[in-house]
Structure 1
Amino acid sequence: MKECLLLLLLAVCSAKPFFSPLDTTLKNMMLKDMDDDDDDDNANSVFPTREPADPFFPFDMFPTCPFGCQCYSRVVHCSDLGLTSVPRNIPFDTRMLDLQNNKIKEIKENDFKGLTSLYGLILNNNKLTKIHPKAFLTTKKLRRLYLSHNQLSEMPLNLPKSLAELRIHDNKVKKIQKNTFKGMNALHVLEMSANPLDNKGIEPGAFEGVEVFHVRIAEAKLTSIPKDLPSTLLELHLDDNKISNVELEDFKRYKELQRLGLGNNKIVDIENGSLANIPRVREIHLENNKLKKIPSGLQELKYLQIIFLHSNSITKVGLNDFCPTMPKMKKSLYSAISLFNNPVKYWDVQPATFRCVLSRMSVQLGNFRK
């Protein structure tokens, strides 16, 4: 028996370690996830990566992370910690930094120094009143900057030219100065709603040379449609303002517009020919205004699919208010026409009025209640 046990122990000690076929696969997957050539194509990814210094140890054995924060895969989470300033010791290879829901009042000059790989910065819901003009000096790869729900009274100076998305919703910004966005050729989305911004606050030349596709300035103090926004706009949202009229010149600059939001304003009249300047528009919101008739020119908009006109003062719907007389002129059928909560006698509306809609469910008339 002793001899058998001895032979068994010798066999175990001399045996080679077992490697599962999955070990090599997992290792290759981790290395692939960490691989990055830092070229222009990778700059648009949400979480760009970088090739590790040591392929056998793709993760830092002793990573640094600000106290109380959570760090993983070059993403640093420091939200909801009651922070009053930007924490120190943020890893230099950080790509996404989350600082929302804190009590940070000021961004100082060196708060982001050395974060040359930073791609996204979230500062929503803090108490920011000041951002140093040189705060973003080294963040030359920053693409997403979220500053909503703070107390900023002016646009930050020297914003990174690499920005593709800027959200500064619900602050105290009253003015957009000339050259604020100069050189920001990658800026595609600008969210500025819930700021006390009026038409005079948008200085001429503020958007000069910038190709922005999506602009939202809702819940502001605009009394008319701004005429100096980027001509490249695909979406323009001006809901919840004090706009009372739409004039012929208002849309001449925005010929590529596809979505237009003008709901919850005080629009009484839309001048004839105004909508002809946006021939590619697909969706228009005019609900909760003071219109007394269907805007003219809708039947000429070949691609219009959605039109919201509910909660106005419209009393009549004509046979050709929505559809062209020649069917081939309409390239896209309506998927939604809302007319409810208007003093329209719906029994007087002829069925052929909605001959260019997808189905009966696409039209909402409803009863009018005072």
Structure 2
Amino acid sequence: MRKFVLLCLLALCHAKPYKPINIMDVLRDHDILMRDADDDDDDDENDLFPSWDPPEPDCPFGCQCSRRVVQCSDLGLISVPDKIPVNTLMIDLQNNDITEIKEDDFKGMDKLYALYLVNNKISKVHPKAFRSMEKLQLLYLSYNLLTQIPPNLPQNILELRIHDNKINRVQKEAFKGMRSLHVLEMSANPLANKGIELGAFDSMSTLYIRIAEAKLTAVPKDLPSSLTELHLDYNNIAKVEVEDFLRYKNLMRLGLGFNQIKSVENGSLASIPNLREVHLDNNKLKKVPPGLSSLKYLQVVYLHANNINSVGVNDFCPVRSRAKKNLYTGISLFANPVKYWDVQPATFRCVSGRRGVQLGNFRRK
């Protein structure tokens, strides 16, 4: 179930221009996401949205309330409305002009599962604003004006989206106790390496983190060791060093595209033996990174749009023919000054098929 939920969420985790969340789509998928959840206080067991629920008698003015879902999007609200029923499961407040989340805005809402505050003007969140949300699992705070991670976040959150804010610092223990967090999306914030305090990610067991479009100049070395996916695209990382991935031995997918990487130190990739996919496209590499041939699970490598001018016969495949290695399904080398006619046919002997390699011609701009 954990892996299935992660795959469902990843599709939403790319920092793009604001697109409103379709709440009806969320409702349609909700039973799948919660089919193994326990709710001892609910007489309907796991059916969180029973069709026989009558409309809510107390509904904020202008909002639509039904089946324990409160929709108040696109109303020009400057604050969280009053009279939201305390038994609400989902609140949609996206695309308003809310500037602050106050202490009692969500008081008593201990059954709340999802809270959408996307595309507002929120710059301040009271330290006790989420104190009663023990069952909150989806919190979307993207496209606001926050300068730091809100304090005292609920510990049971499954997904936290906080990209496109003004966060330039991640304070120590910002995510304290959040062992259930699967996905953390915090791209498009002016966050530099020095803005990540030591211990900021302690006690977390996150699977997916994306810090793209930030101001990172190196791979952060204090992220959760449980990571299976790390995306640091569109930063200013200049090189990959041996110690960069020592902590992240479970990584299966790594995104470092659109940086300024000129070199990958020998042995850097040996620390992540389970790697399946690596993105190093649109950098300044002059050669194929060393160590790819030793990664037996690696299947997809993006190296296009670099400065690679030659490809060795053993850059991708093991020297020993009997060495175990999953076949590559994709290797991209186009937009490099490599003379494809000089590449030996045996170079791609461990690729699944002819279409698995993309060389192409190189044209100088």
TM-score, scaled to structure 2: 0.86
Partner of residue 114, structure 2 = 120
Give the C-alpha shift of residue 58 in structure 1: 4.5
1:155 aligns with 2:179: no
Q: Is the 8 A contact 2:202 2:224 kept in 1?
A: yes
Question: Please, which of 322, 330, 338 is the counterpart of residue 332 of structure 2?
Answer: 338
Contact 1:303–1:330 (CA under 8 A) maintained in structure 2:
no
What is the rounded CA distance, in whole Å, between the counterparts of 2:206 and 2:132 in structure 1?
Answer: 24
Tell me, what secondary structure is at the counterpart of 2:184?
A: strand
Superposed counterparts of 1:18-97, under 5 Å: 41-43=36-38, 50-51=42-43, 58-60=52-54, 63-97=57-91
1:126–1:149 Cα contact (<8 Å) kept: yes
Q: 1:62 to 1:277 in 2, by over 3 A?
A: closer
**Superposed counterparts of 1:272-291, under 5 Å:** 272-291=266-285
Q: Which residue of 2 aligns with 1:7?
A: none
Partner of 1:145: 139
Q: Name stretches of at least 5 consecutive residues in structure 1 with no aligned partner.
A: 1-35
Q: Quick check: which has more Rg, 1 or 2? A: 1
2:163 counterpart (157, 166, 169): 169
> For 1:61 and 1:295, how far apart are their aligned partners in 2?
60
CA distance in 2 between partners of 1:367 and 1:167 (Å): 40
* Residues 100-249 of structure 1 aligned to structure 2 (within 5 Å): 100-249=94-243
Tell me the secondary structure at the aligned position of residue 307 of structure 1: strand
Structure 1 residues 328 and 125 mapped into 2: Cα distance closer, same or farther (>3 Å)?
A: farther
Contact 1:342–1:368 (Cα < 8 Å) also in 2: yes
Give the root-mean-square deviation of aligned CA atoms.
2.1
Mean CA deviation greater in 356-365 or 67-76 = 67-76
| Aligned-partner Cα distance in 2 for 1:167–1:105 | 18
Query: 2:231 & 2:323 partners in 1: Cα distance?
Result: 27
SS at match of 2:242: coil
Match of residue 301 from structure 2? 307
Distance 1:106 1:62 in 2: 26
Once the two structures are superposed, residues 24-56 of structure 1 have per-residue CA deviations (whole angstroms, 9 ceiling, x without a partner) of: xxxxxxxxxxxx9xx994259xxx99326xxxx
Say which SS state the counterpart of residue 42 (structure 1) adopts: coil
Match of 2:247 in 1: 253
Shift of 1:90: 1.1
Change in Cα spacing, 1:269 to 1:43, as seen in structure 2 (3 Å) is: farther
Shift of 1:98: 0.8
1:4 aligned residue? none
| SS, match of residue 250 in structure 1 | helix
Equivalent pair of 1:119/1:143 in contact (CA under 8 Å) = yes
The residue identity in structure 1 corresponding to 2:339 is K
CA distance in 1, matches of 2:333, 2:38: 45
Greater RCO, 1 or 2 (C-alpha within 8 Å, sep 6+) = 2
Q: Distance in 2 between matches of 1:62 and 1:363?
A: 58
**C-alpha distance in structure 2 between counterparts of 1:240 and 1:150, whole Å:** 21
Which whole-Å CA distance do the structure 1 matches of 2:52 and 2:281 have between them?
Answer: 55
TM-score, structure 1 normalization: 0.85
Number of the residue aligned with 1:298: 292
2:350 maps to 1:356: yes
SS in 2 for 1:337: strand
